[in-house]
Structure 1
Amino acid sequence: MNTIAVANSKSLVPPDETTSLDAIAGTRALGPDILRAIAILLVMLLHLPAEATPLPLVGIRPYGWLGVDIFFVLSGFLIGTQLMAEAARRDSVDFKSFYLRRAFRILPAFLVVLALYTFIPSLRDTPTMQPAWRFLTSTLNFGLDPRSGGAFTEAWSLSVETHFYLILPVLVFLLKRRATMVFIAILAATIVIAGMGLRFAIWQSLVGAPAEVHEYGQAFAAYLRDIYYPTYNRLDGLTLGVVLAAVRLFRPLLWERYMPPYIALVIGSILATAALMIFSWRGPFTETNLPLLLQPFPGAVVGFPLFSAGVALTLGAMLDLQPKIGRWHLPAITGIATLSYSLYLTHKAVYQLDRMVFGRENLQGLSGFVIYVATCFIVAAALWFVVERSFLHLRDHLVPRSR
């Protein structure tokens, strides 16, 4: 079995294959944009109060948290593609360039929103907030109990992403001459299975305790704190995204033979649907008012990797179909995907701002939904044009992408 090394890069990654994948990692493609747009709309819907949720969306709203898992798969694929393609070409990883480019991409908008939350408490969706140092050190998602500070807690996923950015370049550098595809498959399977086992053990000891099952606040907070938020329990999507990148980079013919786009779409849809069915099964929670996010054993253990696998296969199919779907003119999808990060950072504060400006009684029904969506996009667009785009231009000037 060939190793992922520059000595074998010609046999592993033909030049035209590498170029096309680098383009996917560095430019906009409609397939990933569709998934990115779906992800952010799901997250926004999840945090929309029930009284402002249109009837057709009521059944979808409890599943909105799955948007974060879609983001994790996309991140795993795109960052994995960039790093592994660079390692195959240069037999090295430019750590300085990678970390600087990620910092320019993530930090400016995040720091602006964090400052607003910190110094303008009226924007907070809940009265209390975690200490600023937890946001700044990317430790927010460890031991996070939303009852002791729930404002801007959506930043937990940025902590997971930061840990991923810190670890993956080191792994790629260390394994670039040693890892075979079999080794990568075993490593990925180990990470996923270990995560399943860990979530099962934690669920049994904490969330599954009979005394907690019928206590809404205690059970839900324990589930979020010990299962949903920590990085070590949320590696499924990132790992499967990286595996997709490795297979498409180093075994493109294998992917083409066994996962043609329509087969990958069908299997991906089946896996995602199976995960949704598992997430919908309430078991002992049937007679309680606990939210759908609080999963009993099957959802907490196997639901996350199953859904992530479905998203990864769907993403792979969309990338193969890019020559066809790339002809579609869908500016709304591209616009939503472009603003997705700014929308993620600001959508909860925007609803709080809407309540102050329009009054809670005017944010109900369809009119409340329209106001929420419109103001979210106005604020996100402002953040994008003033902060995100400016620093992306500065990044491309100061830290050009390595070629």
Structure 2
Amino acid sequence: ADLTWMAGGYLGVDLFFVISGFLITGLLVAEVERTGRLSLGDFYIRRARRLLPASYLMTVLVVLVAWRIAPDALPRLRDEGFASIAYLTNWELIESGKSYFADIARQPLLLHLWSLAIEEQYYLLWAPVVFFLLPRVGRKRLGIGAAVLAVASVGLMAFKARQIGYPESGADPTRLYFGTDTHGFALIIGSVLGMFWRPNQQQRMTNPAVGEGVFLAGLAALAGTVAMFVWLNEAVSWLYPWGFLLSAMTSAVLIAAATYRSSGFGAFLDQQPLRWLGERSYGIYLWHWPIFMLTRPDLDLRWDAQWIFLLRVGLTLGISAVSYTYVEQPIRHGLVDRLIRDLRSGDLFQRNRQTARTIAVTATVFIAIGAVVAILITAPNVSAPAKDVIAAMGGKVGEATAGIIVPKAIPTPAKPDTRTALDAFYGPDVTAIGDSVLLGASATFTKKLVGSHIYAKVGWQAASVLNQIQALVDAKALTPVVLVHLGTNGYVTEEQLRKMLSLLADRKRVLLVNSHVPRRWMDENNNLMEQLAREYPNVVLIDWRDTSEGQPDFFVSDGVHLTVSGMRAFVGEIMREGHLAATPDPKARAATSDDTDDLSVPFAYPPGDLSKTLVRLPQKTAPDTFWQRMAACETSGNWTNKGQYSGGLAIYVPSWTSWGGAQFAATPAQATPAQQIAVANRIATQGWAKPDGSV
């Protein structure tokens, strides 16, 4: 649920899978051994009493709440709601192509029911297997067979991961995560444990030292589980399947230690408030997800993060406690059976107060169900991002716009780049690579940097960006300046980022733009970029996160993609910090008053009001290399003038004109070194300050 301090929180599902497989198998085996038979009907009724009431109540209330405060969630709820009733949520999500990890919009409010769907599908298959095979083959052989099945599931996850080229290809692994066939091994491992682990019998045959060893093993497993919850994010390359397998095996050790009574580890865990949380864990799981998805920081609520977190926790614990006390426990202990029995016998109608209460509750339930069905039936058939999000991404979702170039179609330059390093770079010198945020701002970017090359696509993650950079390197199609914007759609690993920057180490300048995305990976990605940017001398970090902080007018409804003012600020920050010069197009216009929107000089945007003209701010200091370049050109014998945008000092064309350069030549590149230095001195003494603070 996007907790930045718990990057591996999703592994909690695997812990519950192992617990569930262990408990259910233990109950099934105990019933067969105690009675010599197994009533499948009674088993499924007990599971229905335990799971269905709270789940259906949550679904009904979530739909009603979303109808009032989050209508954008209704299209997805239409399909998810009906799938959740049949416990097919995981397959519905796979069929719809919904990404669990990379979705930056509001995620489906019932998405978390995928795990309950896998559990119920497993119970539906596993209980008959135990019923038919346990009396015939025995506990040991059935346990070995289950272990083989777990190995097969692990192998299938590994095979499918390799099949899609994950993680190198950047393909979405959601199918591996949601599949009952690929992710069911955690449940099976729990079942294997339930077959072989009989602590009440085994502990009578051991000495006290064994109990101490089991306690230490449990403590180590607990520490390992917590460590994985905190640090094992979904970008780890070995997660599929080895990370999930490690989590499941660690959970099995944890369960074994907790159920070995003489070790004392179970008593160690069975303390308040852990006991209270454990009793209500099902309700907590049911309610935490929709509550978190309806209270997104900076999108649904503009409170301080700590207050939002407290609200989320309070609502989750409070609602789950009410559900446990007034729904789960009464129904689990026969409330429905008693009502049906009293109704049949006529006793119910002899108690007027209870009759009124029952009729009121029943009527409320049916009215709520009817309202939910009506809402879902009338909801739109197609789930799509909001119109402002589609516009901000530069086109239709999933389509490559004109700003995207397929690597194999990239022409190889006729001549290698031999230009000297400049302080300012112009449009034709810039290659920009990124995701939908860059794609959405591409029109603004190319307007300022005419001739720049943009390679961007909706949904690109770090692996996709890395593959695009590699393709451009192989095609020798990179310009002197390369802009890389990534981190919007998921975690960026250190290995991926280092490889990108190493591939670009021969470029004159690399502009690394961090991300503003209200998801758990933002801070980790941005910290990594800041760290590695210091290690590569040609890398300049563009801190878009800091620039956009506290600027809600920069973003559309998803809090990630950009409004018109956001696009201007985004491009302006890149040009300002990257020292890029706006490119006048000589065929289209001259450098006249139209250049007043030039982004080469810092400016401030009037938030939310696009009708106002931009307000210029004074440039206080020159770029770090400006004076070093000027000193070098006074003594260098290799001064070159090979074109409009190469050779000599990097003076913007509008600045050149404003400070009297036009008396020498139309552009600084066409002027002599002495003329460039003369104009540079005017700028330095009248506009910029020297690096040491003098003028």
- Give the TM-score taking structure 2 as reference length: 0.42
| 2:34 is equivalent to residue 89 of structure 1 | yes
Partner of 1:63: 8
Q: Offset at 1:77?
A: 1.2
- Give the CA deviation at 1:346: 1.0
Residues 119-134 of structure 1: pairs in structure 2 closer than 5 A: 119-121=64-66, 122=68, 127=73, 128-130=75-77, 131=79, 132-134=81-83
Please give the alpha-carbon distance, in whole angstroms, between the structure 2 residues aligned to 1:311 and 1:146: 28
Contact 1:140–1:156 under 8 Å retained in 2 = yes
Within 2, Cα distance between the matches of 1:328 and 1:158? 25
Selected match of 2:283 from 342, 365, 387 = 342
Once the two structures are superposed, residues 227-250 of structure 1 have per-residue CA deviations (whole angstroms, 9 ceiling, x without a partner) of: 111111222221222222222349
**Deviation per CA, 1:159-207, whole angstroms, max 9, x where unpaired?**
0110122122201111122224542343133112211211111111225
TM-fit CA distance, 1:263? 3.2
Matches within 5 A, 1:237-252: 237-249=186-198, 252=201
Q: In 2, distance between residues paired with 1:256 and 1:179?
A: 26
SS at match of 1:93: coil
CA contact (8 A) 1:125 1:352 kept: no
Question: 2: distance between equivalents of 1:190 and 1:346?
Answer: 35
Describe the superposition over 1:199-232 as per-residue Cα deviations: whole angstroms up to 9, x where unpaired: 111111225275x42xxxxx3xx312x1111111
Decide whether the 8 Å contact of 1:347 with 1:376 is kept in 2: yes
The residue that corresponds to 2:252 in the other structure is 312
Shift of the alpha carbon at 1:370? Answer: 2.1
Q: Does the CA-based 8 Å contact 2:20-2:190 persist in structure 1?
A: yes
Paired with 1:125 and 1:193, the residues of 2 have a C-alpha distance of: 43
CA distance in 2: counterparts of 1:330 and 1:273, whole angstroms: 17
The Cα of 1:373 is off from its aligned counterpart by: 1.4
Deviation at 1:331, TM superposition (A): 2.9
Query: In the alignment, does 2:313 pair up with 1:364?
Result: no
Counterpart in the other structure of 2:137: 179
Offset at residue 86 of structure 1 (A): 0.5
Q: Within 1, Cα distance between the matches of 2:305 and 2:53? A: 33
Q: 1:253 aligns with which of 182, 185, 202?
A: 202
Cα distance in 2 for partners of 1:138, 1:161 equals: 9
Alignment match, 1:374: 314
The residue type paired with residue 254 of structure 2 is: T
Q: Residue 150 of structure 1 aligns to a residue in which SS?
A: coil
Tell me the amino acid that sits aligned with residue 76 of structure 2: M
Q: How many residues align?
A: 323
Give the drift of 1:397.
Answer: 5.6
Tell me how far 1:125 sits from its aligned partner.
10
Among 213, 238, 258, the residue aligned to 1:263: 213
Q: Is residue 239 of structure 2 the alignment partner of residue 299 of structure 1?
A: yes
CA shift for structure 1 position 277: 8.5
Residue 395 of structure 1, CA deviation = 6.0
> What's the offset of the Cα at 1:371?
2.3
- Relative to 1, partners in 2 of residues 1:65 and 1:133: Cα closer, same or farther, differing over 3 Å? same
For residues 181-330 of structure 1, what are the structure 2 equivalents within 5 Å?
Answer: 181-208=139-166, 210=168, 212-213=169-170, 219=171, 222-224=172-174, 226-249=175-198, 252-253=201-202, 260-267=210-217, 292-296=233-237, 298-321=238-261, 324=264, 326=267, 330=271
Distance 1:180 1:153 in 2: 38
For each residue in 1:319-378, what CA deviation from the matched residue of structure 2 results, as whole angstroms up to 9, or x when unmatched?
Answer: 11378454887331121112211111111222355569x96221413x332222122211
- The match for 1:165 is 123
Q: Is the 8 A contact 2:109 2:293 kept in 1?
A: no
Match of 1:394 among 334, 343, 367: 334
**1:150 CA displacement:** 2.4
Per-residue deviation at 1:81? 1.0
Q: CA deviation at 1:115?
A: 1.6
> Which residue of 2 is the match for residue 115 of structure 1?
60
Identity between Structure 1 and Structure 2 (%): 22
Contact 2:54–2:328 (CA under 8 A) maintained in structure 1? yes
Cα deviation, residue 294, structure 1: 4.1
Preserved contact between residue 126 and residue 151 of structure 1 (Cα < 8 Å): no
> AA paired with 1:392?
R
Amino acid at match of 1:197: G
Which of these residues, 119, 124, 137, is aligned with residue 86 of structure 2?
A: 137
Contact 1:275/1:299 (8 A) holds in 2:
no
Change (3 A) 1:75 1:255: farther
CA distance in 1, matches of 2:295, 2:181: 36
Distance 1:351 1:301, change over 3 A: closer
Does the aligned pair in 1 maintain the 2:203–2:260 contact within 8 Å?
no
Q: Which amino acid aligns with 1:70?
A: L
Of 68-77 and 384-393, more deviation after overlay is shown by 384-393
Residue 328 and residue 227 in structure 1: after superposition, are their counterparts in 2 closer, same or farther (change >3 A)?
Answer: closer
How far apart in 2 are the matches of 1:90 and 1:381?
A: 35
After TM superposition, the score normalised by the length of structure 1 is 0.69
Q: Which digits, 9 at most, give the CA deviation of each residue in 1:245-303, with x for residues without a partner?
A: 22234994399659944434545666787789899999xxxxxxxxx22442x321222
Give the AA of the match of 2:272: P
Q: Which has the higher contact order (CA 8 A, sep 6+)?
A: 1
- Higher gyration radius (CA): 2
Cα distance change, pair 202–334 in 1 and its aligned pair in 2 (3 A): same
CA separation of 1:194/1:257 partners in 2, compared to 1, >3 Å: closer, same or farther? farther
Query: Do 1:69 and 1:308's aligned partners in 2 also have CA atoms closer than 8 Å?
Result: yes
Q: Secondary structure at the match of 1:152?
A: coil
Letter in 2 for 1:129: R
Does the 8 Å CA contact 2:215/2:263 hold for their aligned counterparts? no
The 2-side partners of 1:323 and 1:275 are apart by: 19
The alignment partner of 1:361 has SS state of coil
Secondary structure of the corresponding residue to residue 208 of structure 1: coil
SS in 1 for 2:197: helix
Distance 1:377 1:238 in 2: 26
Say if 1:86 and 1:203 are closer, same or farther in 2 by CA, change over 3 A.
same
Q: Counterparts of 1:63 and 1:376 in 2: how far apart (Å)?
A: 20
Higher helix share: 1
Q: Name the residue aligned to 1:146.
A: 98
Q: Distance in 2 between matches of 1:274 and 1:330?
A: 20
1:116 partner amino acid: L
| 8 A contact 2:217–2:257 mirrored in 1 | no
Please give the alpha-carbon distance, in whole angstroms, between the structure 1 residues aligned to 2:294 and 2:231: 36
What displacement does 1:151 show?
Answer: 2.4
**Structure 2 counterpart of 1:101, one-letter code:** R
Given that 1:124 and 1:152 are in contact with CA atoms closer than 8 Å, whether structure 2 keeps it comes out as no
Unaligned 5+ residue runs, structure 1?
A: 1-46, 51-57, 214-218, 283-291, 399-403
Structure 2 unpaired stretches of 5+: 339-695
> In structure 2, what is the Cα distance between the partners aligned to 1:228 and 1:186?
25
Q: 1:80 is matched with which residue: 22, 25, 31?
A: 25
Over 3 Å counting, the alpha-carbon distance change for 1:126 and 1:309 in structure 2 is: farther
